[in-house]
Every structure is written in C-alpha cells, then in structure tokens.
C-alpha cells in the first residue's frame, strides 16, 4: 500500500573548498589514477573551519523549503541523518530547526551512517502517514573530513562533506506522488567492517590499536565492505521493487548512495538496470555518507531528469552494516523562488 507522502522540495549545499586527487597526492602516498581506477572519485568538497553539519544542513533545508514554497513555521518535524553531528548533544536537527525558523517543529537525529538519510526519510514518511505530522524536512548532512585519518589512503580518498534536504508533505487524493515501498535492514554481526571511534569508544583490549587513538576517525575493512555493499544494495532494491509491485523496467531513475563507482556498476548489473538510469555524481563529491542521496536527487531534479509520475528507486548501504531501499513516485518540485546568496554562489561553482 502506497503511503500518501509527496516530495515537494529539494535542496543541497556543498562547501566551496575543493580537494582534488592531485591535492591528496601531496599529503598521502596515492595518485589520481589509483583513486579513479578504484573508486571513480576525482574530487570532493571539504567544510570550512566555521562550517558544521548543522550549518550546512540548514543551508540545504532553506533551499528545500524555498523549492516547496513552504514557510518554515509550517514545518512539524525536522529529522536529520548524520554520523558526524556537531556534538554529542543536542541533536544536529535541533540546531537546524532553530536556524531555519521552524519554531513549531520537533527535531531529532538518525544515525545509520551512509543509510542515515534513507532512515530519516522513512521516519518522516511514516510520521505523515500516521497523522502525527503534515510537513517534514528531512536532512542529510555530514562533515566526514573531521573523522578521516589523513594518513590512511584507503579511507581518506573516499570521503567528502556536504548536505542535502527534501520537504515531505501529505499527498491529497489524486495527486501524483507517494512512497510505494520502503525497507530497512541491518547486520550487526558486521558492525566492525566499517566504524568510527569517538569520545565514548571503550578501551577494551579487543579493539584495534587504531581504535584507541585520541582522535575519532574511520576504520574500514575495504574488501569486506565492498562485498557486502553489492549484495545488500541489489537485494534491498529488488525487494523494494517487489513490495511496490514493480519491475526494474518501471524505474525511471535510480538514486543510490554514492560510495564507489564499481559498487554502483555491480549493483546495476545485478538488477539489469542500465547505468544511464543510475544517477552518479561521486566523481565530483566523493562519498558524503548520508548526504549523497539527497544531493544527487536535487541535482537530478535541477537537471530535468525527473518528471511527475516517474518511479524513483532510492538505495543505500553503510556502517551497521545497514542497508535500505525506497520506491518513490515523483511528484515534481519547483525551482526555489529566491535562492539564498550562499546557494547562488555555490551553484555558480558547480
């Protein structure tokens, strides 16, 4: 049964600072060709010193609200997917809620690593379907550069910073749009395949020496993550389509988490989905964790790749090991009425 929920606005924010593969080669033992061959990434954005997950998330949320022509005082809920919050508490969503002027809204974070936005989107959609909210802002925002070990070339070449957001509203009978199916899964037995240390990391001897360092950073078993990602993305996408009563031929566009081009190509082959119908922007953004899907969705919308009534497949995989997929009927969104100066400046650069 489809949930009566429409995406009515999209927004994104990418920091101005660009870090290319050539730049990385000056600080770690790597090369542009090595990175591109293994990941497909050419460059990524890095947050400025005064930018955080909440400040970037607020910029993306403002753009999404402008796109939806929605006054922030009409927002009932702000949910943020992030694994790089401004601090232990309060939630990053609370800071975003205040910054955008959504003074009537509840706000909280969801941490499912790279699956965070999809998890937050699920919460928002089900809140509307249950009648506890009418208008929800869902944000994905990450400052991954602050938990990267810049001496580890297996991880530092992958990640970037940025934010994306969507506005969800209740769909009236007969309106295009709706969530046809959603699913979320997790395999905690592989939790140590990719994780980040932090201020509450235990000092048990069982943890690796890297996990006991003073600064929080990402630890990853790349081969294990790659194998699991391809299977999880393909299976969750197939199952979501089956729940929606659709086949891959019905999919107008697939917007997956942007982790690695080889993972996306393997997923597409497994599904029988032409790469022309898969949104790929990781060459310019790197892996921005929970932010990658809303940023790619906003870019696809701006580029005119989505039309009302299109079936859009969202799929994600990340630490947990968590995965999920959602089928959304595109309802059509409008360009922002009055883009902010920051948004206009960013668009001029991209």
The DSSP bridge pattern shows strands 322-329 and 311-318 to be antiparallel
145, two tokens: 């550069």
223, two tokens: 């081969």
b or e along 305-328 (b: 16 or more beta carbons within 10 Å of the residue's beta carbon)? bbeeebbbbbbbbbbbbbbbbbbb
Q: Which residues pair with 167 in a beta bridge?
A: 9, 137
CA 128/CA 117 separation, integer angstroms: 17
Catalytic: which of 254, 260, 287, 323? 287
CA 241/CA 250 separation, integer angstroms: 9
138, two tokens: 């869902």
Catalytic: which of 114, 156, 254, 323? 114
Q: Is 287 a catalytic residue?
A: yes
Residue 285 near residue 155, CB atoms below 8 Å: no
The DSSP bridge pattern shows strands 106-110 and 77-81 to be parallel
CA 89/CA 194 separation, integer angstroms: 23
Catalytic: which of 21, 83, 217, 257? 257
Residue 241 near residue 313, CB atoms below 8 Å: yes
Q: Is 114 a catalytic residue?
A: yes
Q: Is 257 a catalytic residue?
A: yes
Q: What contacts 43, CB < 8 A, 6 or more positions away?
A: 18, 19, 20, 21, 283, 284, 286
What positions carry a catalytic annotation? 114, 257, 287
């Amino acid at each position: 049964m489809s949930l009566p929920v429409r995406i009515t606005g999209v927004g994104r924010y990418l920091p101005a600072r660009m870090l290319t593969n050539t730049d990385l080669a000056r600080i770690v033992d790597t090369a542009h060709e090595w990175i591109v061959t293994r990941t497909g990434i050419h460059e990524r954005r890095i947050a400025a010193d005064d930018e955080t997950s909440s400040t970037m998330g607020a910029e993306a949320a403002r753009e999404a609200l402008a796109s939806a022509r929605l006054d922030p005082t009409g927002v009932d809920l702000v949910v943020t997917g992030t694994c790089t919050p401004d601090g232990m508490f309060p939630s990053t969503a609370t800071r975003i809620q205040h910054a955008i002027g959504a003074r009537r809204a509840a706000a909280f974070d969801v941490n499912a690593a790279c699956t965070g936005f999809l998890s937050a989107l699920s919460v928002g959609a089900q809140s509307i379907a249950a009648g506890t909210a009418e208008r929800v802002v869902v944000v994905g925002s990450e400052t991954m550069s602050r938990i990267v070990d810049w001496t580890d070339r297996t991880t530092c070449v992958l990640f970037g910073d940025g934010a994306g957001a969507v506005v969800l509203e209740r769909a009236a009978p007969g309106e295009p749009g709706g969530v046809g199916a959603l699913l979320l899964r997790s395999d905690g037995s592989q939790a140590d395949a990719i994780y980040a240390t932090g201020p509450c990391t235990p000092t048990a001897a069982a943890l690796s020496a890297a996990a006991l360092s003073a600064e929080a950073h990402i630890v990853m078993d790349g081969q294990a993550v790659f194998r699991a990602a391809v299977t999880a993305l393909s299976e969750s996408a197939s199952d979501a389509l089956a729940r929606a009563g659709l086949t891959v031929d019905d999919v107008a566009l697939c917007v997956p988490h942007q982790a690695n081009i080889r993972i996306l190509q393997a997923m597409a082959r497994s599904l029988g989905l032409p790469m022309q119908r898969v949104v790929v922007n990781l060459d310019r953004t790197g892996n921005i964790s929970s932010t990658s899907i809303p940023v790619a969705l906003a870019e696809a919308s701006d580029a005119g790749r989505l039309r009302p009534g299109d079936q859009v497949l969202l799929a994600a995989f990340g630490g947990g090991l968590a995965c999920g997929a959602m089928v959304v009927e595109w309802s059509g969104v409008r360009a922002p009425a009055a883009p902010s100066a920051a948004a206009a400046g960013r668009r001029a650069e991209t």
